[in-house]
């Protein structure tokens, strides 16, 4: 057959169902050397009434060729890169499930295992609630980006597991360790909302070696909530979290950081704040082993270099075709 042609896929969901509400799209690209033109996507319709190409989003994802170089849970498998799941507005594009337990990899409402994934304008939630750990979103693939999404649960909301990730204008809600894992991620202009009734932690970053280029950077973000919250605690001995130019409401407790009962980690973690503001940003009573960053120290975390984002972040497609036009 010769060289594969470039294929993008868009899947629209137009029928309200328990798990998904209106207008969801999935876009993928197929070429042996990666995407070359992401401006056009083929359209696949998902309609529960049977009027579309598929009745379930997972079936639409499964229809994308493996090793593509183009009330359900959603899994984007590792062998299907270059898929985008996109809604029109997060408030009316909702993927929800109710599951939880100690096996964190099993409870997520949405699992992203593939590289080069993009999520736009979605609400992804786990309604397991206060009964235990219930992950809404697990991101384990490299080069994943989310724009304008809402990610909601109570404990362990976002398993930002592995790889390089970018979140922009996202809303993330939880009570305990609600951003956790060992990815290298930049959160830009995101809204973190704590629903903790006591002193829940916003982050539990798992960097385990000084040689790992992982960690979380919150740049120009906003922290709100009720009760009390700390900025982070170390899941890994070399946990790394930076808040820069971020508004912190009074929900952030004075000490700011916690060593999770292991004083030895105070010597190895890297927790920093740079020019944050608001009633919760006062560092007078902060944990002494956390850092007030200078301009020079903060500079590496104030752009996309940490995640190499300038080489892989891509714009949304601007043209769409029906799937039956691909040949």
* pLDDT per position as a tens digit, 213-260: 999 999 999 999 988 999 999 999 999 999 999 999 999 999 999 999
229 vs 323, more confident: 229
Average pLDDT over residues 183-194: 98
Please give the backbone phi and psi of residue 175, each rounded to the nearest 5 degrees, phi first: -120, -40
Angle at alpha carbon of residue 113, lines to 109 and 119, rounded to 5°: 65
Among 27-31, 55-59, 165-169, 274-278, the range scoring the smallest mean pLDDT is 27-31
pTM, to two decimals: 0.83
Burial, 55: exposed, middle or buried (Cβ in 10 Å; 0-12, 13-18, 19+)?
middle
* Per-residue pLDDT, 37: 55
What percentage of residues in the chain have a pLDDT greater than 70? Answer: 80
61 vs 249, more confident: 249
177 noted as active-site residue: yes
Please give the backbone phi and psi of residue 182, each rounded to the nearest 5 degrees, phi first: -130, 40
* Per-residue pLDDT, 199: 81
pLDDT at 26 over 60: no
Residue 221 neighbours by CB under 8 Å, 6+ apart: 187, 188, 189, 190, 191, 192, 243, 246, 247
pLDDT at 324 over 90: no
Give CA–CA dist 89/79, Å, rounded: 28
Q: For the chain, where are the alpha helices, taking DSSP H only?
A: 57-62, 295-298
* Per-residue pLDDT, 250: 96
- Mean pLDDT, the chain, rounded, equals 84
Burial, 137: exposed, middle or buried (Cβ in 10 Å; 0-12, 13-18, 19+)?
buried
Average pLDDT over residues 179-205: 96
pLDDT digits (tens, 9 = 90+) for 281-297: 999 999 999 999 999 99
In the chain, the domains with their CATH numbers are 83-314 (2.160.20.10)
Among 45-54, 193-202, 318-327, the range scoring the smallest mean pLDDT is 318-327
* Per-residue pLDDT, 46: 67
Among 16-30, 79-93, 261-275, the range scoring the smallest mean pLDDT is 16-30
Residue in 59, 142, 177, 284 annotated catalytic? 177
pLDDT digits (tens, 9 = 90+) for 135-150: 999 999 999 999 999 9
User: In this structure, what DSSP letter does residue 131 have?
Assistant: G
* Per-residue pLDDT, 52: 74
Query: For residue 324, how many C-alpha atoms fall within 13 Å in the half-sphere facing its CB?
Result: 3
Angle at alpha carbon of residue 108, lines to 265 and 63, rounded to 5°: 130
pLDDT digits (tens, 9 = 90+) for 65-88: 665 444 668 999 999 888 888 887
Give CA–CA dist 179/42, Å, rounded: 34
């Amino acid at each position: 057959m010769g060289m594969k042609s470039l294929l993008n896929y868009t899947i629209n969901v137009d029928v309200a169902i328990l798990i998904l509400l209106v207008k969801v799209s999935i876009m993928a690209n197929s070429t042996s050397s990666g995407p070359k033109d992401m401006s056009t996507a083929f359209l696949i319709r998902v309609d529960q009434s049977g009027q579309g190409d598929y009745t379930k989003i997972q079936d639409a994802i499964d229809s994308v060729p493996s090793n593509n170089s183009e009330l359900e849970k959603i899994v984007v498998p590792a062998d299907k890169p270059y898929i985008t799941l996109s809604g029109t507005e997060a408030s009316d594009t909702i993927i929800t499930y109710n599951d939880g337990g100690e096996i964190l990899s099993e409870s997520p409402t949405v699992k992203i295992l593939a590289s080069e994934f993009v999520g736009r304008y979605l609400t992804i939630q786990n309604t397991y609630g206060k009964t235990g750990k219930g992950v809404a979103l697990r991101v384990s693939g490299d080069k994943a980006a989310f724009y304008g999404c809402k990610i909601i649960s109570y404990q362990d909301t976002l398993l930002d597991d592995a790889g390089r990730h970018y979140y922009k204008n996202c809303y993330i809600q939880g009570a305990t360790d609600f951003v956790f894992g060992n990815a290298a991620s930049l959160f830009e202009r995101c809204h973190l909302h704590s629903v903790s009734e006591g002193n829940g932690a916003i982050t539990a970053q798992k960097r385990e070696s000084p040689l790992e280029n992982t960690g979380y950077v919150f740049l120009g973000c906003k922290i709100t909530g009720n009760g009390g919250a700390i900025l982070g605690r170390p899941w890994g001995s070399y946990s790394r979290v930076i808040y820069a130019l971020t508004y912190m409401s009074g929900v952030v407790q004075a000490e700011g950081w916690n060593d999770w009962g292991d004083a030895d980690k105070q010597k190895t973690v890297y927790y920093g704040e740079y020019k944050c503001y608001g009633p919760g940003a006062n560092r007078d009573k902060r944990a002494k082993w956390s850092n007030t960053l200078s301009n020079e120290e903060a500079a590496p975390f104030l752009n996309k270099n940490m995640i190499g984002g300038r080489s892989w972040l891509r714009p949304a497609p601007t043209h769409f075709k029906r799937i039956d036009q691909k040949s």
